[in-house]
Amino acid sequence: MPRPSQPILSRELICRTALNLLDRTGRFTVPEVAQKLGVSVSSLYHHVAGRAQIVEGIRGLLAGRFAPIAGDTPWPEAVAAWARSYRDAFAAHPAAIPPLVAQTITDPVTLRQYGALAGVLARSGFGPDSIVLAITMLDNLCLGAALDVGAPSVIWDDNPAIDSPMQTALGRATLGADRAERGFELGLALTLRGLAELLADQPAEVG
Amino acid sequence: MPRPSQPILSRELICRTALNLLDRTGRFTVPEVAQKLGVSVSSLYHHVAGRAQIVEGIRGLLAGRFAPIAGDTPWPEAVAAWARSYRDAFAAHPAAIPPLVAQTITDPVTLRQYGALAGVLARSGFGPDSIVLAITMLDNLCLGAALDVGAPSVIWDDNPAIDSPMQTALGRATLGADRAERGFELGLALTLRGLAELLADQPAEVG
């Protein structure tokens, strides 16, 4: 008789389990991950060096869902596709955002993603400061919008006893369920235009 | 002899304790708050109806630090001051962001803040859809930038073995410690200009 199937402990299984705990409870600890997998903490440490490495593994799971950046795509298209996929990947796991942002990125999949993005920008003529500002603005936009996707459909209490210009605007607005999507796309369009202006202001490259 | 001073249990003390737990551990539960305060869970329930009401109290603590919106300030100045104070208030408590965003806003201090902001925009000629889009974009920008403030000074691992356009840009950029501030301010400026364009496109109001 075959033994009951038991998933083989691996770095990926540990990271998926930790992400699942984050999704459900808002945090994870190494002992909680071990308990969830029915193994000892020391067994986990055969696969990961500690909590920080699990966080990096979670980052890699999410970055694996980002749109790949082809080197020959015009930069505005490459940036827009990357940003949309970034927002979507993090929107599915909002509780993972604070621990991920609080830690230096060492995950190689994620570093390659940022490297490819910086490469497209550099080849298009963006200078170092503009590349760093572009990536900062895109990170802010995508993480903020990812949180917004998970917000309840009624964000502001619509108690009719509260009479305010906000309630009036919400009552009359026609955006409906498209609010988050329209807000993200408008923010993305404004960011892309701002980046095009930074590019136009770059000093001509010394041949 | 006076009794040792003991803080009197109150809704505010409960919410401050929960926020402190969030800051330190990334989450809070009602039993953890009770334990921290040295009281029973049922004692807490004399002051708050449950976890959701504690989250709203935390929202009120943060919204109390937002810049007040004076009705006669020109809208771009009012929006900019509000956005900067919003980012700063949340930057001090990044772990609170996911639970706050996941819940309908019922805290009256926060609702008054959004009401005042919507009021300034409405009096300046913004229509309902534009007001809702404006607030969505500002929420995304401020929450994303608040997370960025708490990021480590080295965000991307600068392992010299990794040779990528990202590392090249980071090595040559001159932004230094101003990266997060410059990125936020540029995002804010682009958002304000986009909002001015939305305003210019509003249909003339029917007298």
ipTM: 0.92
Q: In chain A, what are the domain boundaries?
A: 1-48, 67-200
A-facing residues of B in 168-187 (CB < 8 A) are 168-175, 179-180, 182-184, 186-187
Least confident of A69-78, A126-135, A144-153, B155-164: B155-164
Q: Which two tokens stand for residue B6?
A: 């003991």
- To which H or E segment does residue B120 belong? helix B108-123
Q: What is the pLDDT of residues B62-72, one digit of tens each?
A: 999 999 888 78
Neighbouring C-beta atoms of residue B10, cutoff 10 Å: 11
Question: Are the beta carbons of A166 and B115 separated by less than 8 Å?
Answer: yes
Q: Give the tens place of pLDDT for each residue, B84-95.
A: 999 999 999 999
More confident residue, B5 or B38: B38
Bridge partners (DSSP) listed for residue A105: B156
Fold category of B1-48 in CATH: Arc Repressor Mutant, subunit A (1.10.10)
For residue B184, the distance in angstroms to the closest alpha carbon of chain A comes to 7
- Name the residue type at position A65: R
- Domain A67-200, CATH among 3.40.50.2300, 2.60.40.1260, 1.10.1020.10, 1.10.357.10: 1.10.357.10
- Dihedral sign computed on CA atoms, order B102, B106, B107, B111: positive
**Residue A77 structure tokens:** 């298209």
CB atoms within 10 A of CB B35: 14
- CATH superfamily ID and name for B66-200: Tetracycline Repressor, domain 2 (1.10.357.10)
Determine whether the interchain pair A112/B164 forms a contact, defined as Cβ–Cβ distance below 8 Å. yes
Q: Which residue has the tokens 């309902």?
A: B128
Question: Does position B139 have pLDDT exceeding 90, yes or no?
Answer: yes
| Total residue count of chain A as it appears in this document | 207
Conformation bin of residue A176: beta by default, left when phi > 0, alpha when psi is -120 to 50: left
Name the residue with tokens 């929202």.
B59
What percent of chain A clears pLDDT 70, i.e. is strictly above it? 93
